[in-house]
Structure 1
Amino acid sequence: ALAVDQSPNVMIEEEHNVTLYCSQKGTSYSGMYWYRQLPGQHLELIVYYYYDTESMEKKFEGRFSSERKDSSLYLTVRELKSADSAVYFCAKQEAQLFEVFAVSDTVTVLSLKYPANLMTSSFLDILAVSLPTPLILWNNTGESVSIHCEHQGGISYNAMYWFRQLPGERIQLIVYSVVGIDPDFGELSTKKYDVKKTEAQKGSFTVKNLEPGDSVTYFCA
């Protein structure tokens, strides 16, 4: 099931601590992740677990800590700062199967000068990728547009995923592609979308026959 239990709503002041949790529902996948996305920036991996083995990214060592208990993953941020305001994503992974969780609750960090928001939601396994280019794309109704994405993870990371997020809704997987294998669009139509993946570290995604409803945020992973 594409579902997860997550942190309840919390209101908290700067310099306090907060713990976010993510619990798998109906699965016990070996891989679990926490990511964050600062405003206007790409997704960053915070920590990855393979069963009980933790791999914390160096830039988050110190104030960030994590703990896995069975199918749940906890993320603690100590001495909260306004700069910690971001969208936080949780993910689970088993082999080549990734599940996307729905956007969930919020944590508010109260600053004396600037109110800040932390929102927990969930996402999938995102390799540290470059921002899709171009960042903002304009075109006429009925025409097509293409977005390009690349990463620096090496040729062993030969899979690429494309997602979209409608305003106020959860992130939705559009297509999964691997070099040399036909892309998997799932329930979505190939008449609307196209994807090219001829190199392990690069890929492109095309939206065809543009409509006003195609004005959404697209992610690559």
Structure 2
Amino acid sequence: MYWYRQRQGQTMTLIVFTSSLSKPDYGDSDSNKFSANKTVPERGYLTVNNVESDDSAVYFCLWNQSAERDDMSNAPHLSVSFFVLCLAVTILGKSVVQTPPDLLKKEKEFAEIECSHKVQNYDVIQWYKQSQSIMDLQLMGFLNIGSENKETAFENKIKLKGDGGNNGTLIINDLTLTDSAVYFCAAYYTVLRITSV
């Protein structure tokens, strides 16, 4: 289970990696600021200690359901799995639901993943990919008030459907082994800044 934090206008940063089989790995994060607990594979917790205004952010809990499965790279089927996303805004506790929790597909088929929430005024749904070979999160594209916006690298690979407000669907076409990865969505609201010169 991975815990990420994304402050407004910034990229995601990894807070801690947890496993039910070992101690939490905080990397460069302050283990006094955060405490993580994971005693069983299905569940884990993150605590932000001594909360300050600087801690206001979007916190992501990413759980790889297929981590304990055998390596599927030599199997005749393609494993397209993704994390269950737990999206929590400090104090507000808002959530995004992503379904299905995992997919097993054959090559040349397509995969469809849905994202939904009931948070008022949220008008953007983003889709990310994290493959085993590239641990950084790749933005694939986003929906904004029904408008589909795809990153160049995924232009011909994906289709985005939905209103971008309360729902969005990611469709990955013509699956290959390179599409075996972790996929997840994130929802937020548009920030408009007006400055005078």
TM-score, structure 1 as length reference: 0.48
Query: Is residue 129 of structure 1 aligned with residue 172 of structure 2?
Result: no
CA contact (8 A) 1:44 1:128 kept: yes
* Secondary structure of the structure 2 residue equivalent to 1:213: helix
Q: Give the length in aligned residue pairs.
A: 129
Amino acid at match of 1:19: K
CA contact (8 A) 1:180 1:198 kept: yes
CA contact (8 A) 1:178 1:197 kept: no
> CA 1:35–1:139 in 2, change beyond 3 Å: closer, same or farther?
same
Deviation at 1:2, TM superposition (A): 6.1
Query: Is residue 210 of structure 1 aligned with residue 185 of structure 2?
Result: no
Amino acid at match of 2:124: A
- Cα RMSD for the two superposed structures: 3.6
| Residue aligning to 1:35 | 59
Query: Is residue 18 of structure 1 aligned with residue 25 of structure 2?
Result: no
- Structure 1 unaligned segments of length 5 or more: list them: 21-29, 48-55, 59-126
| Distance in 2 between residues matched to 1:149 and 1:11, nearest whole Å | 29
| Residue aligning to 2:112 | 146
| Distance in 1 between residues matched to 2:12 and 2:105, nearest whole Å | 35
Deviation digits for residues 2-36 of structure 1 (CA, Å, limit 9, x no counterpart): 69798984799xxxx6126xxxxxxxxx9961514
Deviation digits for residues 165-196 of structure 1 (CA, Å, limit 9, x no counterpart): 11260111100111342x22122232111100
| Distance in 1 between residues matched to 2:162 and 2:169, nearest whole Å | 7
| Residue aligning to 1:45 | 88
Deviation at 1:128, TM superposition (A): 2.1
| Residue aligning to 1:172 | 138
Deviation at 1:141, TM superposition (A): 0.6
CA contact (8 A) 2:109 2:173 kept: yes
| Distance in 2 between residues matched to 1:199 and 1:3, nearest whole Å | 21
Stretch deviating more after TM superposition (210-219 or 136-145):
136-145
CA contact (8 A) 1:36 1:46 kept: no
Amino acid at match of 1:18: N
Amino acid at match of 2:167: K
* Secondary structure of the structure 1 residue equivalent to 2:161: strand
> CA 1:57–1:153 in 2, change beyond 3 Å: closer, same or farther?
closer
| Residue aligning to 1:193 | 158
Query: Is residue 163 of structure 1 aligned with residue 128 of structure 2?
Result: yes
Identity of aligned residues (%): 20
